[in-house]
């Protein structure tokens, strides 16, 4: 059987190719040029999952011409519908409207050049935090900056309706808010639901932590009610409790991501400390004698339920985001 030979030749470029058992590349050029062109060759074939391409480069002046030659070879041999185009000095390979590979010039490109005036501002993913609390948003912004993701909150969408937290569990409430807002906006949304669980009270106040003392609840009233409920519990070990956080990230057409974390401790006999909020003045951290309200912000973020949940989220979020719909 006659081996099929592919060839492209002009005044500055000359490529000869065939299909064999493995990928192989040769080039008549200096070592630096050889390594650069070899990288283009293997990166493209690895990205496309192609084996058996053998190419000999006699001369070459353009990475784009080599990419176009390789794409034409692959399409003819495999029947694929790959396309290669140039954009502002970069070479883009696509198939059926799916971008598969981008090859940049040696020195790269400025974002303004590639995307046009103002286009770079729209680059990158955005996550909408389901809160109007700017302090909480600031904390999440620091976290997602590490992943290259921009953060918005509900203040950026004043027309969105309030989502009633009618769930019976932390996950139900966080999921309800995240998934409802995601469907309304089409955006990736993060919601959290947190609260205090006291073992002697069967897990109360739990999901009702913010309104434990009634519809007009305040932090002071909630703390007073909690001390009243535990008035006859004198042993510290019997006053064990956990702060709990559930984080849910939702995106239309995708299974939501859920992470949870607990912060164990005990309920003290009196409020102590000026920092924090909610039940922090009553929550004795771990086996120590300091309350959460006596910790600095840095100490609290390092060990709290929300801090632990955020660390878990950082570990699993990139993999979840990369999963196919």
Domain ranges of the chain: 6-119, 126-322
- In this prediction, residue 1 carries a pLDDT of 41
How would residue 118 be classed by pLDDT, with cut points 50, 70 and 90? Answer: low
Determine how β-strand 53-59 pairs with β-strand 90-95. unpaired
- In this prediction, residue 224 carries a pLDDT of 96
Please answer whether residues 22 and 71 qualify as being in contact, where contact means their C-beta atoms are separated by less than 8 angstroms. no
Identify the top-confidence range among 78-87, 116-125, 315-324. 78-87
- In this prediction, residue 115 carries a pLDDT of 76
Q: Is 7 helix (H, G, I), strand (E, B) or coil?
A: strand
For range 303-310, the mean pLDDT = 88
Long-range contacts of 283-288 (CB under 8 A, 24+ apart): 283/196, 283/241, 283/243, 284/236
Of the candidates 281, 296, 230, 286, the one whose C-alpha atom is nearest the C-alpha of residue 262 is 286
Q: Model confidence over 74-103: pLDDT tens digits? A: 999 999 999 998 887 888 999 998 999 999
Calpha distance 250→108 (Å, rounded): 34
Catalytic residue among 97, 193, 216, 235: 193
Domain 126-322 has CATH 3.40.50.10490: no
Q: What is the DSSP letter of 154?
A: G
Active site residue 193: yes
Angle between helices 63-78 and 31-48 (to 10 degrees): 40
Calpha distance 131→320 (Å, rounded): 22
Please answer whether residues 113 and 90 qualify as being in contact, where contact means their C-beta atoms are separated by less than 8 angstroms. no
Determine how β-strand 14-19 pairs with β-strand 53-59. antiparallel
């Amino acid at each position: 059987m006659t081996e099929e030979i592919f060839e492209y030749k002009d005044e500055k470029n000359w490529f000869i190719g065939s299909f064999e058992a493995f990928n192989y590349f040769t080039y008549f050029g200096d070592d630096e040029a050889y390594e650069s062109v070899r990288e283009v060759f293997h990166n493209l074939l690895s990205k496309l999952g192609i084996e058996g391409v053998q190419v000999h480069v006699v001369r070459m002046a353009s990475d784009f011409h080599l990419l176009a030659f390789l794409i034409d070879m692959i399409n003819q041999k495999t029947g694929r519908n790959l396309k290669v185009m140039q954009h502002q000095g970069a070479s883009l390979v696509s198939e059926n409207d799916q971008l598969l590979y981008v090859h940049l010039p040696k020195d790269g490109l400025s974002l303004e050049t590639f995307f046009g005036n103002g286009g770079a501002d729209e680059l990158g993913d955005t996550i909408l935090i389901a809160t109007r609390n700017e302090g909480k948003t600031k904390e999440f912004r620091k976290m997602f900056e590490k992943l290259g993701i921009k953060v918005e909150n509900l203040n950026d969408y004043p027309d969105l309706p309030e989502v009633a937290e009618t769930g019976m569990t932390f996950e139900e409430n966080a999921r309800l808010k995240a998934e409802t807002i995601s469907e309304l906006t089409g955006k990736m949304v993060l919601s959290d639901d947190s609260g205090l669980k006291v073992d002697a009270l069967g897990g109360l106040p739990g999901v009702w932590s913010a309104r434990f003392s009634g519809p007009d609840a305040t932090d002071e009233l909630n703390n007073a009610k909690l001390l009243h409920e535990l008035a006859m519990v004198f042993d510290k070990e019997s006053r064990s409790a956990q702060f709990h956080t559930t984080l849910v990230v939702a995106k239309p057409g995708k299974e939501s991501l859920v992470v949870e974390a607990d912060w164990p401790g005990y309920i003290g006999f009196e409020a102590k400390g000026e920092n924090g909020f909610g039940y922090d003045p009553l929550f004795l951290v771990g086996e120590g004698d300091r309350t959460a309200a006596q910790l600095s912000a840095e100490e609290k973020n390092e060990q709290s339920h929300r801090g632990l949940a955020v660390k878990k989220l950082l570990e699993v979020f990139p993999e979840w985001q990369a999963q196919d719909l």
